[in-house]
Structure 1
Amino acid sequence: MTVSTRVSRFARPIALTGVTLARGERGAAIVEMALVLPLLLALLMGILVYGHYFMLAHNVQQAANDGARAAIVGLDAADRRAVAERAVARSIDPAAGTHSVAVSETADAITVAVTFTAADDSFLRSSFVPSPDHVIRARATFELPVD
């Protein structure tokens, strides 16, 4: 075998058929999907986690508002506290987590502070994406009616 035949054997052009091109495009699509899919999943999980957080934060603020609004009809401080705790308990879904209520009162206003801790199986405890705090705090203040 001469040098010229060796060169010509390695230098000859490869005929690209439809099957070879299709196989190459399929491989490129798999590589592109492998690069893009983790980013897409992280984006979708971020949407779920933060959407869940904003929904819970809204619900906790609404529960504090409901508690303070309901508490202004109480006869004395103990009655106002009990009414506020019942109103908050009605407003917050017990399956979503645990909550605590603190009621403070001045001569002309009542403040209800709600602290909500998300359940262990909540999206807020996800480690796939950076998530906000799983403890949500809200407070609402209403003026007491003047006698």
Structure 2
Amino acid sequence: MAIEFAFIAALFLAILFGIISYGFQFATRIALSYAVAEGGRAAVAGLDDGEREQRATDAIYEVLNAYSPLIDVASAAPPSFVWQDTSVGRAVEINLVYTDTRFSLLPFIPAPDETVRVRTTYVVSDPSG
């Protein structure tokens, strides 16, 4: 009875810790995507590119600080912005790079990447014409 339990318990614990490890990694990815999306929404309110970048950066770090037990803010590189003119207005691509390996709990369960890159694009247009 004890031998069967040892076989089943080892397999069960490996699956359980694998689910927990991937759950933390997935939650981190969702939090980073949310931070970049909030940065894009905040960038729309600016009057020029400099103000838009500042508003976006402030919004991104506000979200990252809100997720501080899950997200290590020091592991997030400052966001980068790529501006381009499109047919519908001025578009900004916001890139956020995050490097953190705290949630690679088990050596035999591979981490998706050490570096998580999150990118989103927002179009800022003047509705008045």
Compute the TM-score of the two structures, normalised by the length of structure 2. Answer: 0.80
Structure 1: tracts of 5 or more residues without a match: 1-28
The code of the aligned residue for 2:116 comes to I
> Cα distance, 1:35 vs. partner?
1.3
1:126 offset after TM fit, Å? 3.8
- Same amino acid, percent of matched pairs: 27
- The CA distance in 2 between the partners of 1:34 and 1:94, in whole Å, is 37
Which structure carries more helix by proportion? 1
Partners in 2 of 1:125 and 1:42 — Cα distance?
A: 11
Query: Does structure 1 residue 39 correspond to structure 2 residue 15?
Result: no
Instruction: State the number of aligned residues.
Output: 117
2:34 pairs with 1:62: yes
Q: C-alpha separation between the residues in 2 aligned to 1:125 and 1:115? A: 21
Q: Which moved more, 1:126-135 or 1:107-116?
A: 126-135
Query: Looking at CA atoms only, which structure, 1 or 2, has the larger radius of gyration?
Result: 1
Alpha carbons of structure 1 residues 88 and 126: separation in structure 2 relative to 1, 3 Å: farther
The offset of 1:140, in angstroms, is 1.3
Q: Which residue of 1 aligns with 2:112?
A: 132
* 2:99 and 2:115 in contact (8 A); partners too: yes
- State the superposition RMSD in angstroms: 1.7
Of residues 48, 51, 73 in structure 1, which corresponds to 2:45? 73
- Are 2:99 and 1:99 aligned? no
Q: Which residue of 1 aligns with 2:20?
A: 48
Alignment-mate amino acid for residue 109 of structure 1: A
* Maintained 8 Å contact 1:72/1:110: no
Structure 2 gaps of 5+ residues are: none
Match of 2:93 in 1: 111
- Give 1:52 deviation, angstroms: 0.8
Matches within 5 A, 1:15-26: none
1:142 equivalenced with 2:114 (yes/no): no
Whether 1:123 and 2:88 are equivalent positions in the alignment is no
Q: CA deviation at 1:31?
A: 0.5
Q: State which drifts further: 89-98 or 123-132.
A: 123-132
Q: Distance in 2 between matches of 1:136 and 1:94?
A: 16
